[in-house]
Amino acid sequence: MRRLLAYGLIFFGLFLMSTADTHAAERWQVRVCNTEKPYTPSRVASMIRCATDRWGGDTGKVMYMGQCESGLDEGERANPPYVGVFQYHPDTWQSAAERLWNPNWGRRHVNVPAITNGRAQVLVTVRFTLHGDYGPWDDGRCA
C-alpha cells in the first residue's frame, strides 16, 4: 500500500511540474523581447538586441537600419505611407508579417499585428534579415 501511495505522489508531483513548465513556457513565449510601453528609442534598441540574441543576425546592421529610417521611433510617419521604426509600406508590412510573425508573441494572438507596433516591427525585421536579405539597406546606405 505504501508503495502505491509513493508512486501516486511521484506521479502527481511530475504532473504538477510538467504543467508548471508548460505555463511558464507559454508566458515566456508571449513576452518574447517585450518591454514596457511606450517603446522609446532606447527600448526599441533593447528589443533589437534581444531579438538578434535570440535568433541571430547582425545587431549593428539592424540597429543602423532603425536609426536610419526613424531614429528608432515607432511613431515615425514623416514620409507617408511609410510607417514606424523601419518605415514599412503597408503592403510590404502585410506580406512580411504574414510570413514572419508568430501569433503567440502578442497578447491578442493576432495573425498580423498593426504596422504601428514597434515591437512587432523589430521582431519581423530581425527575422527577415536572418537570411542576409537587408532589402534596400544591402548597400549600407539609408534607403
How confident is the model over 83-110, as pLDDT tens digits?
999 999 999 999 999 999 988 887 767 8
Supply 66's cell numbers.
Answer: 532603425
Cell 491578442 found at: 108
Q: Tell me the mean pLDDT in the region 134-142.
A: 72
How confident is the model over 9-32, as pLDDT tens digits?
344 444 444 444 434 444 444 568
How confident is the model over 35-87, as pLDDT tens digits?
888 899 999 999 999 999 999 999 999 999 999 999 999 999 999 999 999 99
- Say how far apart CA 28 and CA 22 lie, in whole Å: 10
DSSP, res 31 = T
Picking from 89, 98, 100, the residue whose alpha carbon sits closest to that of residue 125 is 100
Say which residues have a Cβ less than 8 Å from residue 143's Cβ, sequence separation at least 6.
68, 69, 87, 135, 136, 137
Calculate the CA 122 to chain-centre distance.
6
CB burial of residue 62 (10 Å; 0-12, 13-18, 19+): buried
Cis peptide before 38 (omega within 30 of 0): yes
Specify whether the CB–CB gap between 67 and 85 falls below 8 A: no
